[in-house]
Amino acid sequence: MTDKRPLSQREKEERRAKRADSFWEAFRFTENGKPKSSLILYTFSLSILFILVYILCYEGAIRLLTEPLSALPAWASNLVIALLSSAAGCALCCLPHRFFGDKRLVFGGHLWLCGYAAAVLVTMLILLGPTEGFQSFLVFFCWFVLPPTALGTLISALLFKRDHQRKTEQAPEPEWKKYVDRR
């Protein structure tokens, strides 16, 4: 049974500090110099790389496709650019999945992107409130953040589901096999 009394300011600060310490503990190194949680570190690093890839794909698509698509209405031109650059970025970002032994990495990197997108959206809602400025930001968000994040996460989730196999627990090796030459 838990105590339902309200927490004091000191208790709230202690809980917040404990949560922060447990989060940052995953990024610290062991005595041997290895990261404690390499999955978190690798997926975080991949997410930063993915952001750069998607930005470069958008920049290239805008440079290359703006003039040829100028005959279309603005929304159609933006839609073509958003979809093509998101598809190109997704293809580039999901390509390493084929070469990584740990099939969780690319999907994990895209999950970080979803977290960043949600954090940015909530932060902008708090800062701007439901005003015209937030509506303008939402237009930007829907053209430049939502398509690559959604497409990349969807494709990487499908790749992860297809390729990831849980490690089955193997029976311990008999003692006599340790001494047999297996060349």
Q: Confirm whether 179 is domain-assigned.
A: no
Host domain of residue 158: 35-162
The type of residue at 71 is A
The type of residue at 124 is M
Q: Is the dihedral of CA 64, 67, 72, 74 positive or negative?
A: positive
- Rounded Cα gap, residues 144 and 139, in angstroms: 9
pLDDT in tens, the chain (183 residues): 555 677 778 887 888 878 777 766 665 666 666 656 678 888 888 999 999 999 999 999 999 988 898 888 988 998 999 999 999 999 998 888 888 878 888 899 999 999 999 999 999 888 888 888 888 889 889 888 999 999 999 999 998 888 877 666 677 777 767 677 665
The type of residue at 111 is L
Q: Is 35 left (phi over 0), alpha (psi -120 to 50) or beta?
A: beta
Q: Confirm whether 138 is domain-assigned.
A: yes
Q: Confirm whether 115 is domain-assigned.
A: yes
Note the pTM of the prediction, 2 decimals.
0.69
- Rounded Cα gap, residues 43 and 114, in angstroms: 12
Q: Confirm whether 111 is domain-assigned.
A: yes
113: Cβ contacts below 8 Å, ≥ 6 apart? 47, 50, 51, 148, 149, 152, 153
pLDDT in tens, 78-116: 899 999 999 999 999 888 888 887 888 889 999 999 999
The pLDDT value recorded for residue 147 is 92
Burial of 150 from C-beta contacts in 10 A (0-12 / 13-18 / 19+): middle
Count the alpha carbons within 13 Å of 169 in the hemisphere toward its beta carbon.
1
How many folded domains does the chain comprise? 1
